[in-house]
């Protein structure tokens, strides 16, 4: 029997594994939707640290309302509420659905699909944190007009870049094919 790494296929996975993992991804998407208030509060808490890096004054968090206050102690104190429409959860949910679809399609390995989905979700969360910091910085510097530009224009473009990067990461990681050049491991021709 050939060993793994010498041109053979991977050991077979139990037939139910893909169905179980697809179900887990679907349940995770449902949990993000169902527990959206908690997730938004967690994003506001993470955003408090990001905002603290890009604004003056001190920051504070109202967990129950998903609001990060910044500029406290300055004449420009404000608060940003993370709403359902501004949460990365609403972008992660479709990514999880795509990951579940890939899991059922059997076009890639389980580990690659999970890795690609995880990397994509992390990119969406990171992009949204940058967006939150940008909105706070623009708001503190230019007031309501800065908020409008950062939220509606620059922030939306940043979100689109994050979505494109997350989908690209999922596709590149999950759908990457192993190289088959006819050589044994480590040998050259």
What's the rounded Cα separation, in Å, for the pair 22 and 100? 4
pLDDT tier for residue 2 given thresholds of 50, 70 and 90: very low
Per-residue pLDDT at 5 exceeds 60: no
Which residue in 48, 89, 55 sits closest to 73, CA to CA? 55
Q: What pLDDT is stored for residue 122 in this prediction?
A: 98
What does the pLDDT look like over 52-106, one tens digit per residue?
999 999 999 999 999 999 999 999 899 999 999 999 999 999 999 999 999 998 8
pLDDT at residue 123, as a whole number: 98
Q: What are phi and psi of 68, to 5 degrees?
A: -110, 125
Residue whose pair of structure tokens reads 């510097």 in the numeric block: 141
pLDDT at 177: 72
pLDDT at residue 8 greater than cutoff 80: no
The confidence score (pLDDT) of residue 189 equals 47
105-161 tens-digit pLDDT: 888 899 999 999 999 999 999 999 999 999 999 999 999 999 999 999 999 999 999
Q: How confident is the model at residue 1 (pLDDT cuts 50, 70, 90)?
A: very low
Residue 179: pLDDT band with limits 50, 70, 90: low
Q: Any idea which residue has 């077979």 for tokens?
A: 12
Other CB atoms within 10 Å distance of the CB of residue 82: 26
Rg (CA), the chain: 21
Distance (Å, whole) CA 79 – CA 60: 9
Instruction: Tell me which of 125 and 187 has the higher pLDDT.
Output: 125
pLDDT for 171 equals 95
DSSP code for 151: I
Residue 14's pLDDT band, with cuts at 50, 70 and 90, is: confident
Residue partners of 80: CB distance under 8 A and separation at least 6: 44, 47, 51, 67, 68, 70, 132, 135, 136, 139
Residue 169 has pLDDT above 90, yes or no: yes
């Amino acid at each position: 029997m050939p060993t793994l790494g010498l041109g053979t296929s991977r050991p077979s996975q139990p037939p139910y594994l893909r169905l179980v993992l697809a179900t887990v991804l679907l349940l995770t998407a449902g949990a993000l939707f169902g527990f959206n208030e908690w997730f938004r509060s967690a994003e506001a808490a993470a955003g408090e640290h990001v905002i603290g890096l890009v604004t003056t004054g001190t920051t504070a968090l109202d967990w129950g309302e998903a609001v990060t206050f910044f500029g406290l102690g300055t004449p420009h104190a404000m608060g940003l509420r993370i709403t359902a429409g501004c949460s990365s959860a609403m972008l992660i949910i479709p990514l999880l659905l795509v990951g579940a679809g890939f899991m059922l399609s059997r076009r890639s390995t389980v580990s690659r699909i999970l890795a690609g989905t995880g990397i994509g979700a992390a990119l969406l969360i990171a992009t949204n944190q940058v967006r939150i910091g940008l909105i706070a910085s623009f708001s503190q510097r230019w007031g309501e007009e800065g908020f409008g530009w950062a939220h509606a224009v620059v922030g939306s473009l940043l979100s689109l870049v994050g979505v494109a990067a997350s989908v690209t990461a999922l596709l590149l990681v999950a759908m990457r094919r192993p190289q088959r050049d006819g050589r044994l491991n480590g040998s050259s021709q």
